[in-house]
Amino acid sequence: MTGHLYGVGLGPGDPELVTLKAARLIEGADVVVYHSARHGRSIARSIAAAHLRVGQIEEPLIYPVTTERVGDYRGMLEEFYDRCAERLADHLDAGRSVVVLCEGDPFFYGSYMHLHKRLASRYPTEVVPGVTSVSGASAELGRPLVERDEVLTVLPGTLPPEKLAERLAATDSAAVLKLGRTFGNVREALERAGRLDDAWYVERATTDEQRMRPLAEVDPEGVPYFSVAILPSRVHEETRRALPEPVPAGERRGEVVVVGLGPAGREWLTPQAQDALASADDLIGYGPYLDRVPPNPRQRRHPSGNTVEAERAARALELAERGRRVAVVSSGDPGVFAMATAVLEVAAEERWRHVPVRVLPGLTAAQAVASRIGAPLGHDYCVISLSDRLKPWEVIADRLAAAASADLAIAVYNPASRTRRHQVAEARDLLLKHRSPDTPVVIGRDVGGPEESVRVVRLAELDPADVDMRCLLVIGSSQTRVAERGDGSRIVFTPRRYPA
C-alpha cells in the first residue's frame, strides 16, 4: 500500500481563512511539505502553524533560485521539482500521508501543481481548494469583482505590456498577479488600456502586513511578489453611484404588514410571511403569538394582551407613520377571526388613510386540523366563532341553525375559554335538531404544537369538558364519513359529490 498525497490550499494569508478540511488534513498528516525561499522562512508554514503537531515529518522545499535573472531559470526549476517529487515519492512508497501546503489555491498559479503532475498518476491524490489572493483582495477592498454578466480576466504580470494592455482593454474586470519586478509593465499596460484610474493595488491581502491603495499612487520600488492589481466590477460602481441617497430612518415611508403565522411553528409559515418578519423594524402582537417569532436585537417587540386589538392596531399605525416597518403578527390567517380586520378597521379612519397596510395570508387552524384527520372540509363548509365577546349569543345560535339546516360542514373557532363554558353544550344541542347523533366531530387541540391531539367523536357524545380555548372543532355534514385504514387509524372526509 502507498500513502496518499494531498495538495492543500491555505488561503491568501489569514490563518482563519484555512478551511476545516484543510486543517483536519494538516493535523493528521505524517509528512508536511512546504516551499520556502533560500532564507528558509515559509509563508505557507506560518499560515498552517497552529495545525502542526509534534512528531510530524517536515519537508521544506527550498527554491534553488529566487526571482533574480539567471541563465536557464525554467530548466533549473524543472530539475528542482524532479528532485522534490522523488523525495515525496519515498514517503508515499512507505505508506505515509503527505500534505503539501500551498498559499491561496493549489491549482491557481500554485507551486503544488508542479508536484501534482509528477506524482498524481502514481499515487492516490486529492486537492483541497483554498481562498485565492484575488478573492481575498476583492473582499478586503470591499469591491465586487463581477456582477450580472460581466467577464473577469485573470492575468499574469509577466505578459508583455502590449498583450496585457490588449486584454485589459477588452475585459470588464481583471486581476493581475505576479507583480513584483513586473509592476512597472503592469502599470504601463493599465495606462495604455485607459484603466489606470480604476485599478487598485493590494499587497499581502488579509495579513497583518496588508497594504491597499489606488494603483496609480503606488511606488514601483519595493512592490513584493505577493501583491495583486484589481480592476473591480464596473457595473457595481456605476450602480452604486446611481443609487439615491439613503433616507434617514425618521424620514422613511413606513408600512404595516399584518402577518399570518399559521397555527404553530416555522414549518407552517409561508416564505412571504418569513420575509415580512425579517424585514420589520417593529413586531406587534398578542404575547404568546409574538413569542413564536425568534428574537432579533435589531427589532423592537411590542407584546400585549388578548383583548386590546384596536389599541394594538393604533400603535402599529403610529409607528408606521414615523417611517417604521411594522409587522403585526396573528395566529393562523390574520383575516379569519384575527388581526387583519382590527388593523384595517382602525386604518380606515381619516387620520390613518395615508399609512400603507398589507395583509399576508397564513394557514388557518381549520385547514390544519382538517389535514391531520383527512378532508372533513372537502365540500361546502362555513366557519363560525362561538365567542360572544363581540357579538350576541343569539346571533351565533341563529347562524349555527342556518348552517346546520343548509347541511354545511362547520369549522368552529373559539369554542370555549376559561370564562365561557356553556356555548359548546348549547351548540351541540342546537345542531342535534338538524344532524344525526352519529355525525362525526373532529376535536383538534394545539395542532402543530407540542401537545397536539386530534380525536373524532359522535356529535351526541361531544363533551364540553373535552374542549378548551386551544381547540378547534370540525362538525361534519350529513355526507361526512369516517373510514378505517389498514393500520387501524381513522380518516374523516366529506365527499365532493352531493346526492341528487
Cβ-contact 80, 64 below 8 angstroms: yes
Which range marks the domain in which residue 378 is found?
A: 366-493
Whether 43 shows a pLDDT value over 70: the answer reads yes
Q: Which pLDDT band holds residue 102 (cuts at 50, 70, 90)?
A: very high
Kindly state whether residues 319 and 372 are assigned to the same domain.
no
Amino acid at 189: A
In CATH, what number is assigned to the domain containing residue 171? 3.30.950.10
For residues 228 and 280, state if they share a domain: no
Query: Both 141 and 220 in a single domain?
Result: yes
Reported as half-sphere exposure (CB side, CA atoms, 13 A), residue 166 has a value of 5
Residue 286 has pLDDT above 70, yes or no: yes
pLDDT per position as a tens digit, 124-163: 999 999 999 999 999 999 999 999 999 999 999 999 999 9
**pLDDT reported for residue 348:** 94
Say if CB 404 and CB 439 are below 8 A apart: no
Percentage of the chain beyond pLDDT 90 is 81
CB 459 within 8 A of CB 441: yes
Which has the closest alpha carbon to 257: 319, 307, 177?
319
pLDDT at position 420 over 90: no
Average pLDDT, the chain: 92
Q: pTM of the entire structure?
A: 0.68
Residues 191 and 291 in one domain: no
Note the pLDDT of residue 71: 63
| Residues above pLDDT 70, as percent of the chain | 97
Q: Which residues pair with 412 in a beta bridge?
A: 384, 473
3-state secondary structure of 236: helix
Is residue 116 very low, low, confident or very high in pLDDT (cuts 50, 70, 90)?
very high
CA dist 360 and 326 (Å) reads: 13
Average pLDDT over residues 166-190: 95
250-276 per-position pLDDT tens digit: 666 899 999 999 988 788 899 999 999
Domain membership of residue 499 (yes or no) is no
In this structure, the number of other CB atoms found within 10 A of the CB of residue 434 comes to 16
Query: Total structural domains in the chain?
Result: 4
36 plus 68 within the same structural domain: yes
- In this structure, the answer to whether residues 62 and 139 fall within a common structural domain is no
- Domain CATH for 264: 3.40.1010.10
End-to-end CA distance of the chain: 81
* pLDDT score for 250: 62
Instruction: State whether 289 and 338 are in the same domain.
Output: yes
The answer to whether residue 500 is domain-embedded is: no
